[in-house]
Amino acid sequence: MNVLILGAGGHGQTVADALLRATRIDLETRAIGFLDDTPELQGWRYQGIPLLGRIDRVADVPHDGAIVAIGDNSLRRQIFLRLQALGIKFVSVVHPTAVLALDVEIGPGCYIGANAVVGVASKIGANTILNGGGCLGHHNRIGDHVHIAPGVNSAKDVHIDEGTQIGVGTILLPGRSVGRWSVVGGGSLVARDIGDGVLAVGSPARAIRRIVADHGKH
Catalogue the active-site residues: 138
Return the SS3 of 14.
helix
Chain-centre distance of CA 138, in angstroms? 19
Q: Are strands 93-94 and 111-112 parallel, antiparallel or unpaired?
A: parallel
Contact, 96 vs 115, CB < 8 A?
no
- Reported as half-sphere exposure (CB side, CA atoms, 13 A), residue 216 has a value of 24
Bond prior to 108 in cis (omega within 30° of 0): no
Report the C-alpha gap between 55 and 53 in whole angstroms: 7
Give me the residues paired with residue 154 across strands. Answer: 136, 172
- Give me the DSSP letters along 36-101: ---GGGTT-EETTEEB-S-GGGGGGS--SEEEE--S-HHHHHHHHHHHHHTT--B--EE-TT-EE-
